[in-house]
Amino acid sequence: MRLALGVRYLGRAYDGWQSQPSGKTVQDKLEAALAAFAASRISTLCAGRTDSGVHGLMQVVHFDTEVERTPFSWVRGTNRYLPEDIAVQWAQVVPREFHCRASAVGRRYLYVLSQSPVRPSIDAGRIGWTMYPLDGDSMRAAAQILIGQHDFSSFRASACQALSPVKELRRIEIRRDSPDERCRWYFEFEADAFLHHMIRNIMGCLVRIGQGQAKPEWMAEVLAARSRLIAAPTFSPAGLYFVGPQYGPQWGLPPEVTVGSGAAAYHGLS
């Protein structure tokens, strides 16, 4: 049977999602836990690979297995062998046609940024930081320039393996939790897919504009240049969360990953 899992994790302690010889990745830890529970080797595929230090609010994986357990047994049994900063949230049998990556119709990310004269301490590794005040209107004007289908080469890492730099960025929403000097900013991104480092590179440009170091119109110049040399440096991974993929209702998956469900996406972060 084919099984889908929803997985949540803090990425600070790991070398990203994808398995590596070091064994210090989220995929390595998950597959080791699945193997311990099922007493057989299990290989997983994920909806969206995350980099070192990036977190997952609702990563979706799938795998094929001959081991028969109830969905809730997969959740509790796997979590027994996982470290405390990784936990399976749900498990569900899916049709053989389901593919966690290919079946996704969209993907969502959230960047949480602290605006404060002092760097984070308790939230270190879980939140980005700027010591300078940001102008929300300027950042929103710049973000609107990116909405639509574009060649995002200016925001693409050199190691990106995507076949095309053309993506459809559907939504960027920017808000803050208070008007005070010390506050949190939330940047929500939704697209059909993202390039490697795309959001962190966009964040670098948005923060530069928000700090008044560039005009909102500069974002159009960066986009048109199709060159990483024009854009701002890649921003910190600390505040970046993979909110999760989105699927059509035909798969019968939980509301956290179903288009149009209206479920609260950020699980208390906002």
CATH 3.30.70.580, the chain: domain bounds: 2-103
Average pLDDT over residues 200-212: 97
pLDDT surpasses 50 at 61:
yes
Q: Alpha-carbon distance 240 to 236, whole Å?
A: 8
Q: Alpha-carbon distance 61 to 46, whole Å?
A: 4
Average pLDDT over residues 28-49: 96
162 band by pLDDT with thresholds 50, 70 and 90: confident
CATH 3.30.70.660, the chain: domain bounds: 106-241
Q: Looking at residue 249, what is its pLDDT?
A: 95
Q: List the structure tokens of 174.
A: 């920017």
Q: Looking at residue 264, what is its pLDDT?
A: 47
Residue 68's identity, in one-letter code, is E
pLDDT digit string, tens, across residues 73-87: 999 999 999 999 999
What is the residue-wise DSSP string for 80-136? TTS-TTEEEEEEEEE-TT--TTTT--EEEEEEEEEE-SS--STTTTTSEEESS---H
Q: List the structure tokens of 115.
A: 């605006």
Q: Looking at residue 270, what is its pLDDT?
A: 46
Is the domain spanning 106-241 CATH 3.40.50.1820? The answer is no
Is the domain spanning 2-103 CATH 3.30.70.580? The answer is yes
The single-letter DSSP state of residue 258 is: B
- Which residues are catalytic, by number? 51
Place of tokens 């854009």: 231
